[in-house]
A = this chain, B = another copy of it.
Amino acid sequence: MAERPVAGSGQPDILTRKSDHLTIITDGRGRQQSRTTGFEAVHFVHNALPDLDFAAIDTATSLFGRRLAAPLLVSAMTGGPPEAQAINAAIAEACQALRLPLAVGSQRIALEGRGDAGLRGLRRCAPDVPILANLGAVQLNCDMGIDDCRRAVDMLQADALILHLNPLQEAIQPAGDRNFAGLLDRIAAVCSALPVPVGVKEVGAGLSAQTGLRLIEAGARLIDVAGLGGTSWARVEGERGDQALRDLAAPFADWGIPTAQAVADMAAALQPGVTLVASGGVRDGLDVARAIRLGADLAGQAAGALPAACAGVEALCAHLEQVIAQLRIAMFCTGSADLAALRQAPLLPPLEIKPGGA
């Protein structure tokens, strides 16, 4: 495995790396193969006689005091690289149009002054919806501190800062930042110091209920499980490298906590006042409905929204409307007038054939 470089030495290629990610993920090489989100095992009981007018179904919710048309977050993807500017703008405009929250990708490049991919202009595009700032938590062990977190929030007039945890990605990435010692205390310090709520997310390997609870105790107000079943950062980082790196990464393509399992576990342990986001392999509005049913407040989509986001505002709006329409169909066919009802919708047990007879 490549040696961990001296602090900062890996940075010259961070722009390239981020661009590689976009390519590898949009062409499908970053997806999981054998293990899945677990959502496919969640079957609603069909309600053939919903006491509802489809047109009256209400998918609204709120986040950090702002009203949302639906519980759907466009997850953190692009922070820095130049080609990200158009993507970020499309996301912001689409989310503003549809009243959905958006998260940006890591703002490290921008904080280092090497291009902000239009981050400073995003709030103008999206004045009314929650914008979530983003930084790698491990940076708090490197060269970033509470001030940088504040600057990340200010750059966006963000409603919250999301810190991402990605030990697997950092461990596989040749020049990864791999000192996670003492990070919980540093996260706690950020939580107390910042004027906005702080959330924590993984990037595709999942947060366990135990880790989630430690983070909530440390002050996190939002937990995004970002579980297994969608983008695999082991695969993405492997694909960026030579055969040796691909081999190193291969056994970890399936590593992690499946999203449905992470959400269900975390929901069972959650305290009121903390927002639970289900992301990692959310494919469509039926997965959004399943996530809500398992206890999430919002579902987040990254890779699934990326092709549309690359194609522009219109395509992204169409994509997100499609996802919401599917959520509405799932609500209709479970007789759920709103998200609170959906959260109680009955699920099918596995079919059991009782043997025996006369």
Contacts of A293 in B (CB 8 A): 357
Q: How far does the alpha carbon of A13 sit from the alpha carbon of B54 in the complex, in Å?
A: 22
Q: How far is the CB of A20 from chain B (nearest CB, A)?
A: 20
Contact between chains at A165 and B354 (CB < 8 Å): no
Cβ contacts under 8 Å, A165 to chain B: 48-49
Q: In this complex, what residue of B is CB-closest to A215? A: B49
**At the interface, yes or no: A41 with Cβ under 8 Å from chain B?**
yes
Establish whether residues B250 and A284, one from each chain, have CB atoms under 8 Å apart when the complex forms.
yes
A211-256 interface with B by 8 A CB criterion: 211, 214-215, 228, 244, 247-248, 250-252, 255-256
Known contacts A178-B54, A180-B54, A261-B348, A353 near B251 by CB under 8 Å = no
- Please report the C-alpha to C-alpha distance between residue A56 and residue B181 in the assembled complex, in whole angstroms: 10
Name the distance in Å between A317's Cβ and chain B's nearest Cβ. Answer: 12
Residue of B nearest to A256 (CB): B46
Q: Oligomeric state, in number of copies? A: 4
Contact A329 B180 (CB under 8 A): no
Taking a contact as CB atoms closer than 8 A, the residue among B1, B180, B318, B348 that contacts A257 in the complex is: B348
User: Contact partner of A205 among B48, B54, B171, B180, CB < 8 A?
Assistant: B48
User: Chain B residues with Cβ under 8 A from A287's Cβ?
Assistant: 251
Does A329 lie within 8 Å of B51, measured CB to CB?
no
Q: Given A41-B353, A251-B286, A252-B286, verify A51-B180 contact (CB < 8 Å).
A: yes
Chain B residues within 8 Å of A318, by CB: 244
Chain B residue at smallest Cβ distance from A258: B351
Q: Is A28 an interface residue (CB 8 A)?
A: no
Of A87-95, A148-156, A319-327, the one contacting chain B is A319-327
Do the beta carbons of A4 and B54 come within 8 Å of each other?
yes
A260, CB-defined interface residue at 8 Å: yes
Residues of A participating in the B interface, judged by any CB pair closer than 8 Å? 1, 4, 35, 38, 41-56, 137, 165-168, 170-172, 176, 178-184, 202, 205-208, 210-211, 214-215, 228, 244, 247-248, 250-252, 255-258, 260-261, 264, 283-287, 293, 318, 321-322, 325-326, 328-329, 332-333, 341, 344-351, 353-358
Q: Can you list 22 residue pairs at the A/B interface with Cβ under 8 Å? A: A1-B322, A4-B55, A48-B165, A48-B202, A48-B207, A48-B208, A48-B211, A49-B211, A51-B184, A53-B179, A54-B167, A56-B181, A168-B333, A171-B328, A171-B332, A171-B333, A172-B329, A248-B329, A251-B284, A251-B286, A344-B357, A344-B358
